[in-house]
Chains A and B, each alone.
Chain A
Amino acid sequence: MSDITGSELDRRTLLRRAAAVGIAATPAVGMLSACVGGGADEDTPEQATGEKSADNPLGIDPKTGIEIVIFDGGLGTKYATDVDTPLYNKKWPDSKVTYSATQEVSTVVQPRINAGDAPDMINNSGSKLMDFGAVVNAGQAQDLTELFAAPSFDIAGKTVAETLVPGAIEQGTYNGKPYAVNYAYTVFGLWYNKALFTKNNWTVPETWADFTALLAKIKAAGITPYGYAGANASYYQVRAILTSAGKIGGEQVLKDIDNLKAGAWKNDAIVKAAAAWAEVGKTYLDKSFLGLKHTEIQLRQNQDKLAFYPCGSWLENEQAKDTPPGFEYAVAPFPSVTTADTLPAAALNAAAGEIYFVAAKGKNPRGGMEYLRTMLSKEAALGFTKLTKSLTVVAGAADGVTISPGLTSANEAVGKAGKDIFMGYLFDTWYKKLDDESRAAANDLMFSDYDAQKFADRMEAAAQAVASDSSVTKFTRS
């Protein structure tokens, strides 16, 4: 989820262009063949195993190589090539790591899984990630129970599971079994430039009244107070609305949404949150943002032309090369909407994200799991945090290390929130179609009709359509 990289000029588009010239009479349909090939292939190649021992708890074959595919997005790929792989090879020098990176995970990996030629460890991320629920359902993801029960790579006396932040495993659990490591720990909130705020004597608001008062002040100062990119990043706004709803009505509101419970979207908390945000949209949002992309908006913030930007903690790293000196990223939790909110103002939406999974039908799933165990070591986690300015699910791996202002701010917010951290919602990864509907509805709410009830009704209808669609596999959480 860390990114939408904006890889507009993608290989597929170019290929399609080439194809369009060659076979002009077959628009669009031909591309389906890419996903059709060998669909029914159920063959599992011979899989490598070795002796299990204290030193080799997962029983990998030390001489068999593994193949990994890393998503090349907001987090970059250096953490894999410069931290994880060397660490893995230090322990297993004879297991050659074949590495590749892609911006289009589904385009590159899905056909290979279908053809029975899956890479061993896959970073399923980005805007073109594979529908992971479908991967699990097709039996293509390795059950990671053994991995989490294995001893940690470098934290003595603990299992891998015991070294992680609470909720990290649950997020990769489908119908009771863990299938994914959600590695990056992302803090969501309102991002701003601390230096700018200090200079203007603006204090970070905790209540909605303070929030709108500050927005008015910022507007008067000639800066766009609040904004997000409607063209390709409206899901940041969806998160803002739903986080507010979660704070008003408690996490159950979001769980009901994920579980497609009838009436979940019509919950009073959703309507209230949507109404509050619609007001912000109506008064403080620049209308032209509907046509802009996330990179353009983020650049504006770097130029101090935009004050608040709803985003996740990958932002600082994504903008690293455009951030001018003196710009200090900081994050604030979304303010309380009412005085009777269920959760306190400091409550924070923080979630494990970035799916890493092992292909069940690859050539070396044990090796893939060992690679994940390496990634979940304290050393690799700290290396990841240093390189990507993103926290990991390895608890406390980055404590006491000063890396960047945004990261420090995120770490502080996590500390302040204490037990009031909630992971948000999963419907967007479970039901992609509902995700798309929520993006369009959020844009509508914020840019054109400002009608909270309509937003709720529309999402309710879309959610119920998914609920009654037998071709969509359902998931539940509690």
Chain B
Amino acid sequence: MRHGKYPFIIGFLAVPVVLYATFVVAAYIQTFQLAFTSWSGLGPIKYIGFDNFERLWNDDLFWRSIGHNLYLLILLPIITIAIALVFAFLLNAGGGMHKGVRGSKFYRVIFFFPQLMALAIVAVIFGRVFSTDESGMLNGLFPESWSPWLFLADERWALTCILAVMVWQAVGFYVVLFSAGMGSIEQEVYEAAALDGANRITLFFKITIPLLWSTLQVAWVYLGIAAFDAFALVNIMSVDRGGPDGATSVLSMMIYRNAFEYSQAGYASALGVALFFLTLTFAALTLRVTRREAH
């Protein structure tokens, strides 16, 4: 079989590598190239050096959008992981030494539901939940004497509403991911700790978390990258797409608008390059900061 090894491996890798090279690597290279042009999206391409990046630096909305991305970047992983960990722990070890709380099998399925829905559908549904008149789910629940809450139409809370939806959608997946991680922790470890008198909370912090560390790390990176995106939700849910008045603008929304609406594909590419480096920096930093000595 030795002779067949390389063709075998190449056979497996060729298709994904070609796809990746075409749709990711090539697209990125073109984006980098276009970032140095004033291309409108149509017609001839003119190179303008670093002008786009200079404009970027002076663009208020760019900095506000980065601020919003950072807000999501910090809060989305923290909240999602915290909730998912608690749920996963309850499902796996909450009901005693090695079983979940009553009905945990049922919950396990329920938690995963949001993940099964297309993001666009989630956004439309939550658009209804947050609707500003009495037809909105939340405003409908409030007593009639209250004046309607504005949610997405309120500059102070709009981004938090988006964050809430992102958390709601993400939690299920991470519950499953962490459950799988917890399932692979040897029962003997728990039993030994329990014999030593550890209660559930101690078990959680001293056994589960440390043994789950690499899974948490991965979750953090994934969620961070999701926080850099947020495009679909902002595009569909927010007032005036990114509003009110820029209050929910994120980098991906800016890229889309510049590329497809303002005919400034060059500037949009420069934004794309900025986003690329931000994402890369974040991923590298996360992996570095959270690195621990091997157990």
Which A residues have a C-beta under 8 Å from some C-beta of B? 8-10, 13-14, 16-17, 20, 23-33, 35-36, 39-40, 42, 106-107, 110, 113-114, 128, 130-131, 133-135, 137-140, 230-232, 234, 286-292, 296, 432-433, 436, 439-440, 443-444, 447-448, 470-473
Contacts and interface: CB of A to CB of B under 8 A. Distances in A.
A25 B225 contact: yes
A266 B253 CA distance: 30
A9 B120 contact: yes
B42 A110 contact: yes
Contacts of A133: 263
B148 interface: yes
B27 A29 contact: yes
Contacts of A288: 132-133, 139, 148, 150, 153
Query: What is the interface of chain A mostly: helix, strand, loop, or mixed?
Result: helix
A25 B229 CA distance: 10
A290 B118 contact: no
Nearest to B152: A291
* Ranked 10 nearest A-B pairs via Cβ: A138-B43, A291-B132, A291-B153, A28-B252, A33-B27, A27-B229, A138-B42, A288-B132, A290-B153, A131-B263
Given A28-B251, A137-B40, A230-B239, 14 more contacts: A8-B120, A24-B225, A25-B225, A28-B252, A29-B31, A29-B255, A35-B260, A39-B42, A42-B44, A110-B42, A140-B42, A288-B133, A291-B152, A447-B244
Contacts of B151: 291
- Give the contact-size bracket for chain B: 35 or more
Contacts of A448: 155, 244
Contacts of B245: 440, 443-444
A35 B132 contact: no
A35 B119 contact: no
B263 A27 contact: no
Nearest to A11: B120
Interface in B20-43: 20, 23-24, 26-28, 30-31, 34, 38-43
Contacts of A39: 39, 41-42, 45, 265
B263 A134 contact: yes
B83 interface: no
Contact of B265 (A24, A32, A432, A447): A32
Query: What is the interface of chain B mostly: helix, strand, loop, or mixed?
Result: helix
A175 to B, nearest CB: 15
A9 to B, nearest CB: 5
B130 interface: yes
A105 to B, nearest CB: 11
A440 B118 contact: no
Contacts of A131: 40-41, 261-263
B240 A439 contact: yes
B132 A290 contact: yes
Nearest to B267: A471
Given A9-B124, A107-B260, A28 B153 contact: no
B240 A36 contact: no
A33 B239 CA distance: 27
Interface stretch (B93-101, B197-205, B272-280): B272-280
A23 B27 CA distance: 13
Contact of A28 (B23, B133, B231): B231
A464 B158 CA distance: 29
B264 interface: yes
B42 A114 contact: yes
Contacts of A36: 27, 30-31, 34, 265
A25 B123 contact: no
A17 B24 contact: no
A139 B40 CA distance: 13
Given A13-B235, A36-B265, A231-B239, A8 B123 contact: yes
B77 interface: no
B119 A40 contact: no
Contacts of A31: 255-256, 259
Contact of A432 (B135, B153, B235, B263): B263
A32 B244 contact: no
A31 B231 CA distance: 11
Contacts of B268: 32
Contacts of A447: 153, 244
B118 A17 contact: yes
A234 B225 CA distance: 32
14 contacts: A16-B231, A20-B119, A28-B252, A29-B255, A30-B23, A30-B28, A35-B260, A110-B41, A137-B43, A230-B153, A291-B151, A444-B244, A471-B40, A471-B266
Contacts of B243: 440, 443
A289 B136 CA distance: 12
Contacts of B38: 470-471
A335 to B, nearest CB: 27
B246 interface: yes
Given A29-B27, A31-B256, A36-B265, A440 B240 contact: yes
Nearest to A234: B240
Contacts of B148: 287-288
A439 B130 CA distance: 22
Interface string B116-141: 00111101100100111101000100
Contact of A291 (B34, B239, B259): B239
A272 to B, nearest CB: 23
Contact of A35 (B23, B41, B150): B41
Nearest to A305: B133
Contact of B42 (A8, A24, A113): A113
A106 B272 contact: no
Contacts of B28: 26, 29-30
Contacts of B147: 287
B236 interface: yes
B232 A13 contact: yes
Given A290-B239, A439-B240, A30 B40 contact: no
Nearest to B121: A9
B150 A287 contact: yes
B222 interface: yes
B64 interface: no
Residue among B51, B127, B151, B240 with max Cβ neighbours from chain A (10 Å): B240
A57 B190 CA distance: 89
Interface string B34-70: 1000111111110010010000000000000000000
Nearest to A300: B133
A35 B39 CA distance: 11
B108 interface: no
B41 A134 contact: yes
Nearest to B265: A35
B283 interface: yes
A468 B276 CA distance: 29
Contacts of A107: 260
Contacts of B133: 286, 288-289, 291-292, 296
A27 B43 contact: no
A63 B123 CA distance: 48
Given A230-B240, A234-B240, A32 B150 contact: no
A448 B34 CA distance: 39
